[in-house]
């Protein structure tokens, strides 16, 4: 077994805390993205999401020996509702072009009582009654999503901001 430890890290500071509620019919990921845009959140983390969905649509890693990491993400998996969304968290990053990118995972309970979890993307996750969200802004650094050639996927890359701690596009 390889005991090598490799990582990227950067020190930032906590910024604003945003509490939001997504109303019925709003797409979970689209709503989180719009809350971040409205409050000009460029990087941060989603510490808490809970509520209910009309349906859940998510992705899972599947084996694919043709990729550098040996995995790829599945086609979207859709589970009909009602869905009890029990826990969600993610990171708020920027693309190299300055686009907002959210990497989000969630756990939920289907109406048959089965617990499921996975990677969520925009579309396919309409709120049923509510989605209560807490977002924490990070300042003094940049959280980027960059292609990591070693694994062949977009990965979070913490990077230094400018001398004022600002993280420009």
Tens digits of residue pLDDT in 88-124: 999 999 999 999 999 999 999 999 999 999 999 888 9
pLDDT at 165 over 70: no
From CA 121, how far away is CA 29, in angstroms rounded? 6
- In sequence order, which residues have a C-beta less than 8 Å from that of residue 143 and are 6 or more positions away? 43, 44, 91, 92, 93, 94, 156, 157, 158, 159
The end-to-end CA distance of the chain, in Å, is 40
What pTM does this model have? Answer: 0.88
Q: What is 75-114 written as a DSSP string?
A: SPEEEEEEEEEEEEEEEEEE-TTS-EEEEEEEEEE-TTS-
DSSP state of 164: T
Can you tell me the distance from the alpha carbon of 68 to that of 166, in angstroms, rounded to the nearest whole number?
A: 34
- pLDDT tens per residue across span 24-66: 999 999 999 999 999 999 999 999 999 999 999 999 999 999 9
pLDDT classification of 9: cutoffs 50, 70, 90: confident
Set out the domains of the chain in order of their start, with CATH numbers: 14-160 (3.30.1330.80)
């Amino acid at each position: 077994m390889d005991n090598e430890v490799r990582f990227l890290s950067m020190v930032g500071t906590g910024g604003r805390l945003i509490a939001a509620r997504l109303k019925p019919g709003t797409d979970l990921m689209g709503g989180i993205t719009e809350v971040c845009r409205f409050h000009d959140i460029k990087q941060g983390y989603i510490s808490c999401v809970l509520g209910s969905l009309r349906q859940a649509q998510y992705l899972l890693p599947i084996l694919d020996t043709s990729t550098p990491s040996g995995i790829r993400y599945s086609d979207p998996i859709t589970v009909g509702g009602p869905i009890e969304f029990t826990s969600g968290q993610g990171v708020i990053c920027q693309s190299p072009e300055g686009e907002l990118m959210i990497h989000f995972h969630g756990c939920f309970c289907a109406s048959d009582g089965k617990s499921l979890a996975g990677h969520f993307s925009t579309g396919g996750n309409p709120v049923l009654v509510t989605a209560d969200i807490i977002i924490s802004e990070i300042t003094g650094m940049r959280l980027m999503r960059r292609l990591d050639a070693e694994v062949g996927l977009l990965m979070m890359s913490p990077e230094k901001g400018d001398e004022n701690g600002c993280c420009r596009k």
